[in-house]
Chain A
């Protein structure tokens, strides 16, 4: 894979953009509320983990968001959409299927704004995610862990039909999800790194990849959009038939140029390298994103990659991902719900 765009040499780039604050990016600052402080995350070069000296690899640190994940951006857009559309009544309960980060972000924003939130989560998510949901006041409804996110989505949809107080923003189907990334994440990347050739992110709902991808492609039609997705463990593939498969409504596969399947064990190995060599303490999906980004870097002649790191490592400490023996625990590691 070679880059097709003309760009200044690395030295010229450094001279033009000595620091993000010298560009259009707004990091830090003063805000009227925590909700207004969402976004404006730093873009940090990670040369010690980049396998190709002719490629500049940058990490967009989404764990610098208020609740520690990229989902703050999405939750803000989802709730503002509910407010604009008049769907929220005084007795409404915002309900959402999530394996954690979206629920935590929704709960924080809802608390700040005075709304009730219920989240449907697979029963095998890490304990830290449950604790954060609870401390922001969300009601937690368990779905069967072996059915993964599919099970949480099905249960949330069922509950909405049973009680008209439930209002579901639905991150898998709402255009507000990719819009949040098109209007914020992508704009920040373009401001901080206009020479970006490749963007890599994890594939969950598809919101990040679709939203950022659309905007970056308008900026540079030759940009490549690459997804990293988890290899689901045997124990979390509780489908009875392929017809129970699920493709998020907002996911537009035509935005992607490549998709890499990454096992939990490979993701964790890459995550440990990121912590050891760059001092970056990120979540497990970020390790998978780095696996894909490094593979793309190896195949490029030269160019610039931006890898989006969706969350921090805090919520995965109880699973000992930095210390456990990956070979001895292979089956367990592959079945953990770490995305």
Chain B
């Protein structure tokens, strides 16, 4: 099982859980498993074409999957997947 961390903004659609354990060998499979448990998340996480919503960042062990293999990025049992909204940084 891989742990997926749910940010506060998505928790209402994820049973108010902070962390959900899912099966899957890739980020795409892990997110599919998450959507089986919480179908309301689909509209938030994905655009109409099935690609990640541009306002969602997905990380595996701290690395943004957009710069790895996107949804095909492999995940292992010990990995942590973090979902975060795109927020302003800057100083």
Contacts and interface: CB of A to CB of B under 8 A. Distances in A.
Nearest to B88: A149
Contact of A172 (B55, B56, B63, B90): B90
A240, A245, A257: most-surrounded residue (chain B CB, <10 A): A245
Interface in B46-86: 53-57, 59, 62-64, 66-67, 82, 84-86
Contact of B67 (A232, A244, A258): A258
B62 A149 contact: no
A258 B63 contact: yes
A259 B67 contact: yes
B18 to A, nearest CB: 9
Nearest to B7: A237
B37 interface: no
B9 interface: yes
Interface in A241-265: 241-248, 253, 256-262
Given A239-B9, A240-B9, A241-B9, A246 B67 contact: no
Nearest to A285: B91
Nearest to B55: A245
Given A237-B8, A262-B62, A257 B56 contact: no
A304 interface: no
Contact of B91 (A99, A229, A237, A259): A99
A38 interface: no
Given A205-B89, A245-B87, A234 B8 contact: yes
B17 interface: no
Contacts of B56: 242, 245
A69 interface: yes
A22 B80 CA distance: 47
Contact of A248 (B67, B84, B88): B88
Most chain A CB neighbours (cut-off 10 Å) among B55, B62, B88? B88
A13 to B, nearest CB: 29
A149 B89 contact: yes
A112 to B, nearest CB: 20
Contacts of A69: 91
Contacts of B10: 242
Contacts of B85: 237, 239, 242, 244-245
B82 A261 contact: yes
A102 B90 contact: yes
A259 B66 contact: yes
Interface string A90-119: 000000001111100000000000000000
* The 3 A-B residue pairs with the shortest CB-CB distance in the complex, in nearest-first order: A245-B55, A204-B90, A259-B64
Interface of B: 7-10, 44, 53-57, 59, 62-64, 66-67, 82, 84-91
Interface of A: 69, 71, 98-102, 148-150, 152-153, 171-172, 202-205, 229-232, 234, 237, 239-248, 253, 256-262, 285, 310-311, 339
21 contacts: A71-B91, A102-B91, A148-B88, A171-B90, A172-B88, A204-B90, A232-B87, A239-B9, A241-B44, A242-B85, A244-B85, A247-B55, A253-B66, A257-B67, A258-B64, A258-B67, A259-B64, A259-B66, A260-B62, A260-B63, A261-B64
Given A259-B64, A261-B82, 4 more contacts: A148-B87, A203-B89, A229-B89, A262-B62
